[in-house]
Amino acid sequence: MRNLRIGDLVVRRSYGFDIVFRVIDRIRTYGRKKIVILKGINFRIIADAPETDLYRLPLSRIDDYNRSFNEKITKMIDKIMGERKKKNEKDVDDIKNLSDSLNTAMPFGKSGRVLHIDGDAEYLDICLKTYKQLEINVVGKQIAESEQPKVVLDLLREHAPDILVITGHDGILKEKEDYANIENYRNSMYFIEAVKEARKYESSMDDLVIFAGGCQSYYEGLLNAGANFASSPHRVLME
């Protein structure tokens, strides 16, 4: 496809038009072959592709795609909130029964706080809206992946969260198959270093729960660094 511009929404023919990307940069390689840098719209992935492999989506297709994705997210949130409501009602009944039997006042719980550090401002905004829908207490900070290890300690000291989320864009470099080589990932090295820094602040995996990684991140490396949960075990893409 010719005449692509920064900001255009495209799909890749060679991958069966599976993911919608936004064009974020264009570079020229040897032989005057144009390579386009892409960022996933609903998947956390940075990729590159030859300009000839890309197909610009018409506005009608984009609207349909976004509508389908938003409906899927809404259904997931409704399901989570419904399950949480049932669990909370049961917990309140159990606590009330226990308080009555002990003749004491019913205690009140306090929800934990989340510190979410994200390399992408757009994705962070989407996440913050979802946290709000789920009634989760959260502080969000947009920090470039390469800068996350440098600032995570200060942010932990400032906000003292119960849960830390470290994420952004990642991916396995093209034509690389050695998943155990950290050099074959775009940003996994920064996520791993950020997790290690966070464990200097709190070594207990119960007192600080860490979620780390992005699409196709180095799963084993993140867990070994001290993350409780990591992505992605099968190097899959995530919405």
The one-digit pLDDT tens for each residue of the chain (239 residues) are 567 889 899 989 988 887 889 999 888 776 667 889 888 887 777 888 888 899 998 877 777 767 776 777 778 777 877 776 676 666 545 555 555 555 554 454 556 899 999 999 988 998 898 888 888 899 999 999 999 999 999 999 999 999 999 999 887 776 666 778 888 888 999 999 999 999 999 999 999 999 999 888 899 999 999 999 998 776 555 44
Burial class (CB in 10 A: 0-12, 13-18, 19+), 9: middle
Tell me, what's the pLDDT at 103? 58
Tell me the backbone φ, ψ of residue 121, rounded to 5 degrees. -65, -40
Nearest to 171 by CA among 10, 21, 8: 21
Instruction: Report the C-alpha gap between 117 and 165 in whole angstroms.
Output: 6
The whole-model pTM stands at 0.70
Instruction: Report the C-alpha gap between 21 and 171 in whole angstroms.
Output: 14
Q: Dihedral (C-alpha) 55, 59, 65, 70: value to the nearest 10 degrees?
A: 140
CA atoms within 13 A on the CB side of 141: 20
pLDDT digits (tens, 9 = 90+) for 84-138: 667 666 654 555 555 555 555 445 455 689 999 999 998 899 889 888 888 889 9
Tell me, what's the pLDDT at 135? 84
DSSP state of 173: P
Neighbours of 235 (CB within 10 A): 16
What residue spans of the chain are helical by DSSP H?
59-102, 121-133, 148-159, 188-201, 219-225
Residue with tokens 């144009």: 34
Q: Is 15 helix (H, G, I), strand (E, B) or coil?
A: helix
| The two structure tokens encoding residue 119 | 């390399």
Beta bridge partners of 165: 116, 211
Residue type, 145: E
Beta bridge partners of 230: 212
> Would you say 215 and 44 are in contact if contact means Cβ atoms under 8 Å apart?
yes
User: Where is 118: in which H helix or E strand?
Assistant: strand 113-118
Tell me, what's the pLDDT at 34? 83
Tell me, what's the pLDDT at 67? 74
Residue 101 preceded by cis peptide, ω within 30: no
| The two structure tokens encoding residue 5 | 């511009």
